[in-house]
Amino acid sequence: MQDSIRVSSALISVFDKKGLDPIVEKLYQLGVTIYSTGGTADYIDSLGVEVIRVESITDYPSILGGRVKTLHPKVFGGILNRRNHTSDQEELSTYEIPSIDLVIVDLYPFEETVAGGGTEQEIIEKIDIGGIALIRAAAKNHADVVCVASKSEYKLLSSLLSDQNGAFTLEQRKYFAKHSFNVSSHYDSAIFNYFDNGSSSLKLSIQKGHQLRYGENPHQEGYFFGDLEQLFDKLNGKELSYNNLLDIDAALNLMEAHEETDPTFAILKHNNACGLATRNTLSDAYDAALAVDPISAFGGILIANRPIDIETARQIHDLFCEVVIAPSFDEKALTLLKNKKNRILLAQKTNTHTVKLVRSCLNGYLVQEKDQVIDHEQMLQTATATKPSADQVEDMLFASNICKNTKSNTIVLAKGLQLLASGTGQTSRVDALKQAIKKAETFGFDLDGAVMASDAFFPFPDCVEIAHKAGIKAVIQPGGSIKDQQSIDYCNANQMIMVMTGVRHFKH
């Protein structure tokens, strides 16, 4: 296997011609023989560069409406022949097959056609056959061939052609081969996922990714694969960390239920809400959210469902926080908040989330649909003799949404569209309730008239008994326990209200 080879011939077959000009010019200057097909050949010819059409060496024209152009032994023999095998070279001579040292391919835009809402026939026609075959052949034979499989590598290719006078080291050819197989495997995964309808196969392929400063802790490596620019405009601040990203994901999930509500502000810490409130103005919502737990808010993630105005920005500026997320920032608000150079400011473009959740487990992966149910009034079944008022219904749904987005076991207490306290991640529901009551009392909240939400059913009536003694008047829960009636009976005996949603919201 040669360490360095010099390119003397190239096959170019691309869908998108953008960025091709300087490469073609450089190949021409180096005296490289260029082969091409169809529209690519026409384009190269328009540049005034000599090009040999593939049809002239295969003696076959492009057929079947362009579906078959390069699929021919004289093309693939030219790519796959081993330069150090005498028998291969003899066969090339016998069958008059030209050797090809460089293959440049840009595949049909399958994913873009799907994303653009193309018809089924348009999508099928964008499944590249010849291009994928060329990539695999050239990358496989990287010992003797350079394979460039996407426009993202044009800049590097052009630089190497200029700096090395058309020569490529084995290390460089392996790099291009690795990238080429990444392109082809991603392309095939996208096609499979288009046809797949919830099968038992899992194929994930994400091209955009970068290494984070570290993982959950400084001694762990961390990476993010995805396109954050699709979701946000980053207006200020340091690089997002692994923990920042987890908190931001939790914040967006929490705020989904408030996209159409009055001004709402949330503060999160370690993926859980430590403050949330809805008010007539955003600044009032921030004040109420911060009051829930001003200690935990330190170093938290802030999110609003309305643009950040200067009044709210002044309040935020007094708090040390990692990230602020909002649909937008008023000019004066942005200027003020950018005074702290490390504070991350994200203008949210969309709340589009993946609908499939994947996490590693044991020696494999767990996959599930995202919990997209947002509890609403039509779901509620009143289980007690006393029915809730409109304000109580509003508070219960407000609290239930927080439950859905809080680590189980959880109990959430709320009143007047303000989170009062929550018990999070406890091994028993009773402990979660006791934690919430204690926390609410610590920060001076009066629980008289408050509502309680639970992420799952009450196996015993103990929680409603404790809640009643604390002053809580209404309870929302999924129901489904064989002992539901005991909790209902206690509520009826003590003029409490209980409604059931029929939907559990565990979060582990």
So which residues are the catalytic ones?
140, 270
Cα 246 to Cα 25, 70, 398, 440, 447, distances in angstroms: 47, 47, 22, 26, 31
The continuous run of DSSP H or E covering 347 comes out as: strand 344-348
> What residues contact 504, with CB distance under 8 A and at least 6 apart?
455, 456, 457, 478, 480
The continuous run of DSSP H or E covering 14 comes out as: strand 9-14
- Residue 13 neighbours by CB distance under 10 Å: 24
Contact 278, 398 (CB under 8 A): yes
CA pair distance 358, 309, nearest whole angstrom: 37
Query: 3-class DSSP state for residue 211?
Result: strand
| Crossing angle between the packed helical segments 462-469 and 429-442, to the nearest 10 degrees | 10
Residues in the chain: 508
Enter the DSSP assignment of 257.
G
- Residue 96 neighbours by CB distance under 10 Å: 8
Query: 3-class DSSP state for residue 426?
Result: coil
Q: Which residue has the tokens 């920005």?
A: 313
Q: Which residue has the tokens 């809805």?
A: 278
CA pair distance 397, 176, nearest whole angstrom: 54
- Which of 300, 304, 340 is closest to 322 using CA atoms? 300
Q: In this structure, what token pair is assigned to residue 134?
A: 């060329």
